[in-house]
Structure 1
Amino acid sequence: MRQASNTDTCWAVVTGASSGLGLAFARLLAQRGYALLLMARREAPMHALAGSIRAVHPGLQVRVHAQDLSRPGAASELMTAMTALGITPTVLINNAGRGLAGPLLEQSAAALRAMIELNVLSLMELSQEAGRLMARQGEGYILQVASMASLGPTPGLAAYGASKAFVRSFGEALHAELAPAVRVTTLIPGLMDTGFGDAAGGYEAPRWARATVITPEAAAEIGLTALFAGRSSVVSGRLNRLMAWLSPFTSRAGQARMLARDMRR
């Protein structure tokens, strides 16, 4: 298990740190000795998380920064805020994301733009700016959080799945491009009990997919272990890994038709 240096303050930045997978990443990185910058839109849950982490790890630096990464230019604003705080990240967890469920024709154009800004553009810009700092200091770790929806077409989650397909391709490309100084790993989690369905507009996973659910803590541990081991990507959960392995053996058109039938039920 990779530990932060005992002599220097090593900072880990976790986006989307107000709930779900972000909480798990923050707690696990604190266990590894990393000072934390927690970033999300909602400030109160992050202060609660920061307090609980400080109680378990006295002396560990934990800072909170409330910001909406779905706004254009937000990634640069976050990097400016980090500079003002004297923080140079050693670890960046690009966990912030948003889902939109339902027929595309019924979705708001503004909501779609905000989701793409958050899931794609802010993630790309944060990776670029943090990656430059990490390359200069000769060490860095970036974890991109994709989704099982990145593995193929996803009717009912069409734009969300496409945004996560970008994250997967982008992260796997950076794994090779930024090596060896900066390690980039893409985590492909499946269903978790994080409230995603409600936040995505009442999305309900197909019955067959519910057997794949794992805890956010388990998914976060899988992601961090792969990151510090230098892996390109990792799928969380045995059933999810099996589904990902089987995916290339079925046609993308067939996958889309199956999910479209589930959506219409």
Structure 2
Amino acid sequence: MDIKGKWALLSGATGGLGTNLAHNLAARGCNLVLSARRRDALEPLAQQLRERHGVEVLVEPCDLSAPEAASDLHCRLIRRGIAVDVLVNNAGFGMHGDFVSQCVDATAEMLRVNVHSLTVLTRLFGSDMAHRGSGAVLLVGSLTAYPPCPSYAAYASTKAYVVHFGEALHQELADAGVVVTVLSPGIMDTGFLGTAGHRPSALLRATMLTPARVADIGITALLKGKRSVVAGRMNQLAAFSARLLPRGLLLRLMARSLTNAR
């Protein structure tokens, strides 16, 4: 798949992985629509991408926790005459800790961003791509999608949805010329852990990949037309092991590994 000169929409563009996905796409000659909550965080990145890679970059702020935000973003790009050839659904956040102690409103917001808006964006832009007979969609999942994850119960469940949703669409949209790929990272050195309130153990830190490496793994898999990719060999082994270990043992191991380091 050649994306040079085409338009990509990237949600969650200002996070650690989002910024690296933006640079990776721009380095391949792809024009970008950057979306995140704050325009003041997007504009410096947009200017940097223009200067470094010589591509066109538009900024479209959007709060995907709002129920109609995804539909509104789609309408705005139609009005601007932008045909999105590559959709990268990267926006998302997590919450760490006992589920019953977490804020109900914050949990609902997470579900809207991680599941609802991702689904609506994929539906609207995926339909446009299918009608044109070409396109690509990258959904950012997580390694937490594979085992049950005590202390990440709701977040991990949203990512399990992303993996199943994306892999199903990979099959559904293949005949329409649209590639759908799911990227599942493990932990990275980004702002995610701080937002989630999680201090990872030394064992988890040993599996950490850089956001730049994860971004390259994801974009490369998308351009090769892969259904799904787990970033990193140790993470691939962990995902595979989650299918083989007895459920009770897996739950105990995950509960131990995901508690905050002391």
TM-score of the superposed pair, with normalisation by structure 2? 0.95
Q: Secondary structure at the match of 1:89?
A: coil
Q: 1:81 to 1:237 in 2, by over 3 A?
A: same
Q: Which amino acid aligns with 2:38?
A: R
The residue aligned with 1:4 is 3
The residue aligned with 2:15 is 19
Q: What is the number of equivalent residue pairs in this alignment? A: 259
The residue aligned with 1:40 is 36
Q: How does 1:174-213 map to 2 (within 5 A)?
A: 174-180=169-175, 181-200=177-196, 202-213=197-208
Q: How does 1:57-76 map to 2 (within 5 A)?
A: 57-58=53-54, 60-76=55-71
Q: Is the 8 A contact 2:163 2:182 kept in 1?
A: yes
Q: How does 1:229-240 map to 2 (within 5 A)?
A: 229-240=224-235
Q: Is the 8 A contact 1:156 1:259 kept in 2?
A: no
Q: Secondary structure at the match of 2:186?
A: coil
Q: Per-residue deviation at 1:252? A: 2.6
Unmatched 5+ stretches in structure 1: none
Return the alpha-carbon distance in structure 2 between the equivalents of residues 252 and 111 of structure 1.
29
The 10-residue stretch of structure 1 (202-211 or 234-243) with the greater mean CA deviation from structure 2: 202-211
Over residues 55-75 of structure 1, what are the superposed CA-to-partner deviations in whole Å (9 max), with x where a residue is unaligned? 1123x2101111110111111
Q: How does 1:244-259 map to 2 (within 5 A)?
A: 244-259=239-254
Q: How does 1:143-162 map to 2 (within 5 A)?
A: 143-162=138-157
Q: Per-residue deviation at 1:137? A: 1.1
Q: Secondary structure at the match of 1:131?
A: helix
Q: 1:3 to 1:32 in 2, by over 3 A?
A: farther
Deviating above 3 A after TM superposition, structure 1's stretches of 4 or more consecutive aligned residues are none
Q: Secondary structure at the match of 2:181?
A: strand
Q: Per-residue deviation at 1:138? A: 1.1
Over residues 10-35 of structure 1, what are the superposed CA-to-partner deviations in whole Å (9 max), with x where a residue is unaligned? 10000000121111111111111111
Q: Is the 8 A contact 2:170 2:180 kept in 1?
A: yes
Q: Per-residue deviation at 1:239? A: 1.1
**Does 2:163 align with 1:168?**
yes
Over residues 226-247 of structure 1, what are the superposed CA-to-partner deviations in whole Å (9 max), with x where a residue is unaligned? 1111111001011111212222
**Does 2:29 align with 1:30?**
no
Identity percentage of aligned residues: 43
Q: Is the 8 A contact 2:8 2:86 kept in 1?
A: yes
Q: Which amino acid aligns with 1:42?
A: R
Q: Is the 8 A contact 1:175 1:185 kept in 2?
A: yes
Over residues 86-123 of structure 1, what are the superposed CA-to-partner deviations in whole Å (9 max), with x where a residue is unaligned? 11110000000010111011101100000000000111
Return the alpha-carbon distance in structure 2 between the equivalents of residues 207 and 105 of structure 1.
27
Q: Per-residue deviation at 1:158? A: 0.5
Q: Is the 8 A contact 1:186 1:232 kept in 2?
A: yes
RMSD value, Cα: 1.3
Over residues 138-172 of structure 1, what are the superposed CA-to-partner deviations in whole Å (9 max), with x where a residue is unaligned? 11000000000000110111100000000000000
Q: Which amino acid aligns with 1:4?
A: I
Return the alpha-carbon distance in structure 2 between the equivalents of residues 256 and 207 of structure 1.
19
Q: Secondary structure at the match of 1:249?
A: coil
